[in-house]
Amino acid sequence: MREGRIAWVGHPRDAPDDETIDLGSALVTPGLVDSHTHPVFAGDRSDEAAARLERVPYTDGGILRTVRDTREADDATLERLVEGRLRASLAAGTTTVECKSGYGLSLDEEVRHLRIIGRVAGRLPIRVVRTFLGAHAVPAGMAIGEFTAHVADDMIPAVAAEGLADFVDVFADAGFFDLDATERIGRAAFAAGLGLRLHADQLALTGAAELGVRLGAASVDHVEQLDDGGVRAVAASSTVATLLPAPALVMRDRLPPGRALLDAGAMVALASDANAGTFGTFGAMPLVVGLGATLLGMTVAEALTAATSGGARALRCDDLGVVRPGAAADLVAWDAEHEGAFALRLGSVRPSRVWIAGEEVDLSG
């Protein structure tokens, strides 16, 4: 590793005459890339999770409950929460994490949350990609058309002007944003110079993933309800299918069609979707790799690839998530000898050492 990048890969006997670190029999991989998280929130919705699993109706819940709690939290509180969540991710071998806003649902709040992500990212070694998710839900008292226009015409230009995000996301699903609203927001994102990613076909088959392909979205995420036509559409495109098995388990929903997507030739990513209401664990990417291998029909190598280079492709960061000369020197040495440990030791494989841009990261704090 030289100047933050991988300079050489090969057999030890042929190594350049540089400083050598002997890691024994440790498995070494690229740093994990978690390309879908929602870290800016306050409040606790574990009672909702319990009620959902007991099939007991509950009221005053969901995204809007978290919006209310998060709006009431001051900057210092939210920064402390976000920093703790990103540190947990780093301690579990994630070297790049995508962080969404989305629990603000007003221009001032969404901007506040994106700024908080930026401040926390500035004091941590982990790489952070910011995504504006103003279209996460429709605020109470607003019509979908009115709020869609506000997101497209007011929020996105303001976010882009301040350089607060790299991507725009839309919760394109039944009961949230329909295809017309999603397309309007997506085209506004491109007009502002931002990339697009979509929550697509999680709750119902709406055609959102195929719309994402037509628009040129970087990724379509969830896709639990994706049908054969959707699989073919994603496979024929440069759009990445980002699979989120953990919340699908918690919600007792269909699992995303990982095997079908891979067999069709699609680029697949695995991510955690750590969030306020359906999967609350930050630092879960080793578990997600194991779930990909044990539940989604993937081999362990395919799951690990999806959690590294697949996630990097979903973020349009092709020099991350790979071990090759010229790539970013983001590496993890694991307390394991073989990648099969991710399937055998579900969720318990942990890093022994981590490097980001060639610099070793202190995992003690």
Asked, for residue 352, whether it belongs to a domain, the answer is: no
Residue-number span of the structural domain to which 242 is assigned = 29-337
Asked, for residue 310, whether it belongs to a domain, the answer is: yes
Quick one: DSSP state of residue 271? -
Residue 187 pLDDT exceeds 80: yes
Residue recorded with tokens 């990445």: 240
**pLDDT tens per residue, range 228-251:** 999 999 999 999 999 999 999 999
Q: How far apart, in whole angstroms, are the C-alpha atoms of residue 248 and residue 226?
A: 13
**pLDDT tens per residue, range 273-307:** 999 999 999 999 999 999 999 999 999 999 999 99
What is the model's pLDDT at position 19?
86
Decide which of 55 and 339 is more confident: 339
Asked, for residue 359, whether it belongs to a domain, the answer is: no
When computed from its CA atoms, the radius of gyration of the chain, rounded to whole angstroms, is 20
**pLDDT tens per residue, range 110-169:** 999 999 999 999 999 999 999 999 999 999 999 999 999 999 999 999 999 999 999 999
Q: How far apart, in whole angstroms, are the C-alpha atoms of residue 365 and residue 358?
A: 19
Asked, for residue 17, whether it belongs to a domain, the answer is: no
What is the model's pLDDT at position 365?
67
Q: How many CB atoms lie within 10 A of CB 59?
A: 7
Number of structural domains in the chain: 1
Report residue 131: phi and psi, to 5°: -130, 130
Of 146, 209, 200, the C-alpha closest to 173 is 200
Residue 108 pLDDT exceeds 70: yes
Q: What is the CATH number of the domain that holds 59?
A: 3.20.20.140
pTM of the predicted structure, to 2 decimals: 0.97
